[in-house]
Structure 1
Amino acid sequence: MGADETARSAHPEGIRCMLLRGGTSKGAFFLASDVPADPEERDDLMLRLLGSPDPRQIDGLGGGHPLTSKAAIVSVSEDRDADLDYLFLQVGVDRATVGAAQTCGNLLAAVGPFAVERGLLPAGVDGMTTARIRLRNTGGVATATFATPAGISDYDGDVAIDGVPGTAGAIELRLGAGAGPVLPTGLAAQELAGRRVTLVDNGMPVVLVDAASLGVSGDEDPGALEADARLCAAVEEIRREAGPLFGLGDVREQTVPKVVLLSPPRHGGTISTQAFIPFRVHASIGVLMAASVAAGIRIPGAVGHDLARLPAGPEHDIEHPAGVLRTRVDVSRGDDGAWRASSRSMRTARKIFDGIVFPRPRR
């Protein structure tokens, strides 16, 4: 039996899986020990579990949208500076792709509670648990703090986040200043594909573009932006030119960098955003995308700096199609002239089901 046949016939008994909402995303969570270590076999399995490629993902767990076609693989970390390792996988919906170049700050909110559920992490003795999480996609380390009364993950609470109905328990996410600069090219602004842009990375590689420079106002419905073939072609041209400048190489089959269209705030926030992720427009905005936007617009000369209503303090209300995401971002310039930043955001998460999932036998 060949390697492909072996991969396709494996797991007839199913695989242990927990489906969780993290922030404004939803994903399938797995223990690293329950999925293949080989990336090619692992990616093939994820496609068959989520039902890709198919616009409806009717034969799998996926929900027919990039925000619900995600997977997280979690394990105890061997890094002494972290408790957990978290590998994020962005599974294509109508394309047979599995991206591991980016992380996901929304699903990050659910990593700690999942780890407590699976016994990877002991609950804190005071009803609160703090988890240091190594982001295997990017190498960064985030800290999550969440409630664990009676030693179990508690998803109940009164915190509401725009883009999610109802309320849930608070989960604080902190990401310290990385080793790399916020501006990967060292430039506050530059020209790509004939447009003035800013390349920024405060946890997520993002290209900031003034929406008006692309002929849109920035307050359109996401579906209308996706249907604008001229706009999508221009956004993708910018994204592909930006990829090598982030050190990502050819990004045609990758989900990073993201391109974020900026416009003046309309609802009392700091800035208004429309985020291409990359072939669909985000229904809200990712946590780390928001942190990158907030860091970028604080830098004089960057795209969005003059559009924003910048606060005196570090709290930024990033407007998006579903409302507002508040993120605390501290930005400073070092003696070497490089800008660096750290961020803190409040998210929620919820366990949806825990059980056994069965992969499609072949694709």
Structure 2
Amino acid sequence: MRGGTSRGPYFLRSDLPEDREKLAEVLLAVIGAGHPWNIDGLGGGTAVTCKVAMLSRSDDPSADVDYFFAQVVSAKREVDFSPSCGNILSGVGPAAIEMGLVEPGDGQTTVRIRAVNTGSLIEAEIQSPGGEVEYEGTTVIDGVPGTAAKIRLTFSEVVGSKSGRMFPTGACMEEIGGIPLTCIDVAMPMVVARASDFGLTGHETPAEIDGNRAFYERMEPIRVEAGRRMGFGDVSESVVPKFALLAPPRAGGTVTSRYFMPWDCHPSYAITGGICLATCVLAAGTIAETVVPQRFDGPAASIVIEHPSGHMEIVADFDVDGEQLGLRKIGTIRTARKLASGQVFVPAGIWN
């Protein structure tokens, strides 16, 4: 399925190995990881097309479906189970209905999802006229051609997704390697810095940034040190924390940003990354405050992120007590499309 601006296979968790190491080997074979084109699998040669969703009925009374996510690293033969993915999440509700995990309503179906990787709870509103998932519609999301049916995603319990704290280091802003930045953990742990501090405008295309290896050589040690300070240990082989650059907007948005996965630039923006960045904008004393001087007092705000493919709107329900931000719910609109169903074959030498 395409979920938001990402794509990948959606499995029943029960159809896959329980053992995490064996599961990783199976997913590497499914995607065809270890080759830049993923020629021997279903991957698309980019981070956004090498994602996997695994679904099961939830034993959590507040959820219908458990969503377990895996990021397969296209050319490195690595699988990272630590993050979640909000774009792939966009397809979880439709997939759960298609797989028989959730009984659809007539008109609209609300699927309550628990993100296993982070513990977040999400409500997905799926269009289901006549008790069937509707994929066609008039909603446009930047980064995907055409239009499709609207899927509303509302997140709760996203603060401290990995660390248990909004600001894992205890500081709203600090300095690493001479670069002022914010380490923040809301839906996705992130390191947020100003593009100008790296000699960039923040409006470069992903291809321009990816061609600038000097930027990555400077960014990666900062990200690794930030991961250590955030309590994640050695993150040199992990995609968490992600990295983002901020710049003033040019097209009517709240802020411009480039999001890194983390060793290449996202062609649009991750949903979890957008939620984290929007929270960084709302919170006082962060690096975002030096780029977005506007303050938001609640109880609701719309943060529009300008990204390489257009815009993403994040809507937050929150309150402010002095300098403390209380985030109740936060969400966005996405779309999804079912692309194929059937069997994918794994070599018996890997998993018989």
TM-score, normalised relative to structure 1: 0.90
Structure 1 stretch displaced more, 63-72 or 351-360? 351-360
Residues in 2 aligned to 1:334 and 1:90: alpha-carbon distance in whole angstroms: 37
Q: Does the Cα contact within 8 Å between 2:253 and 2:311 map onto a contact in 1?
A: yes
Q: CA deviation at 1:240?
A: 0.4
CA-to-aligned-CA distance 1:314-363 (integer Å, 9 cap, x gap): 1111000000001102343458x653423110000000001111124558
Which one of the candidate residues 92, 95, 114 is aligned to 1:111? 92
Residues in 2 aligned to 1:183 and 1:301: alpha-carbon distance in whole angstroms: 11
Give the equivalent residue in structure 2 for 1:207.
Answer: 191
Q: CA deviation at 1:55?
A: 0.4
Which one of the candidate residues 116, 125, 133 is aligned to 1:145? 125
Change in Cα spacing, 1:354 to 1:310, as seen in structure 2 (3 Å) is farther
Calculate the aligned-residue CA RMSD, in Å: 1.7
Give the equivalent residue in structure 1 for 2:168.
Answer: 184
Q: Structure 2 counterpart of 1:123, which letter?
A: P
CA-to-aligned-CA distance 1:147-190 (integer Å, 9 cap, x gap): 11121211111000000000001111111144644222332200
Which one of the candidate residues 53, 66, 78 is aligned to 1:85? 66
Which one of the candidate residues 64, 71, 82 is aligned to 2:45? 64
Which one of the candidate residues 87, 104, 108 is aligned to 1:128? 108
Residues in 2 aligned to 1:215 and 1:309: alpha-carbon distance in whole angstroms: 21
Q: Does the Cα contact within 8 Å between 1:297 and 1:308 map onto a contact in 2?
A: yes
Q: Structure 1 counterpart of 2:152, which letter?
A: E
TM-score, normalised relative to structure 2: 0.93
Residues in 2 aligned to 1:250 and 1:132: alpha-carbon distance in whole angstroms: 34
Q: Structure 2 counterpart of 1:24, which letter?
A: T
Instruction: Say whether residues 1:233 and 2:217 are aligned partners.
Output: yes
Residues in 1 aligned to 2:338 and 2:295: alpha-carbon distance in whole angstroms: 35
Instruction: Say whether residues 1:50 and 2:15 are aligned partners.
Output: no
Q: Does the Cα contact within 8 Å between 2:188 and 2:273 map onto a contact in 1?
A: yes
Change in Cα spacing, 1:362 to 1:51, as seen in structure 2 (3 Å) is farther
Q: Does the Cα contact within 8 Å between 1:273 and 1:318 map onto a contact in 2?
A: yes
Q: CA deviation at 1:234?
A: 1.5
Instruction: Say whether residues 1:314 and 2:298 are aligned partners.
Output: no
Residues in 2 aligned to 1:267 and 1:252: alpha-carbon distance in whole angstroms: 35
Which one of the candidate residues 144, 159, 170 is aligned to 2:139? 159
Instruction: Say whether residues 1:332 and 2:319 are aligned partners.
Output: yes
Residues in 2 aligned to 1:360 and 1:212: alpha-carbon distance in whole angstroms: 48
Residues in 1 aligned to 2:331 and 2:214: alpha-carbon distance in whole angstroms: 36
Residues in 2 aligned to 1:334 and 1:185: alpha-carbon distance in whole angstroms: 21
Residues in 2 aligned to 1:142 and 1:207: alpha-carbon distance in whole angstroms: 23
Q: Is there any run of 5+ residues in structure 1 with no aligned partner, and where?
A: 1-19
Give the equivalent residue in structure 2 for 1:7.
Answer: none
Residues in 2 aligned to 1:340 and 1:208: alpha-carbon distance in whole angstroms: 20
Residues in 1 aligned to 2:76 and 2:92: alpha-carbon distance in whole angstroms: 26
Q: CA deviation at 1:219?
A: 0.9
Q: Is there any run of 5+ residues in structure 2 with no aligned partner, and where?
A: none
Tell me, what secondary structure is at the counterpart of 2:330?
strand
Which one of the candidate residues 341, 344, 347 is aligned to 2:331? 344
Change in Cα spacing, 1:331 to 1:305, as seen in structure 2 (3 Å) is farther
Q: Structure 2 counterpart of 1:358, which letter?
A: F
Higher relative contact order (CA 8 A, sep 6+): 1
Q: Does the Cα contact within 8 Å between 1:258 and 1:276 map onto a contact in 2?
A: yes
Q: Does the Cα contact within 8 Å between 1:48 and 1:361 map onto a contact in 2?
A: no
Residues in 1 aligned to 2:27 and 2:65: alpha-carbon distance in whole angstroms: 21
Q: Does the Cα contact within 8 Å between 1:81 and 1:132 map onto a contact in 2?
A: yes
Instruction: Say whether residues 1:252 and 2:252 are aligned partners.
Output: no
Which structure 2 residues correspond to residues 210-289 of structure 1 after superposition, within 5 A? 210-289=194-273
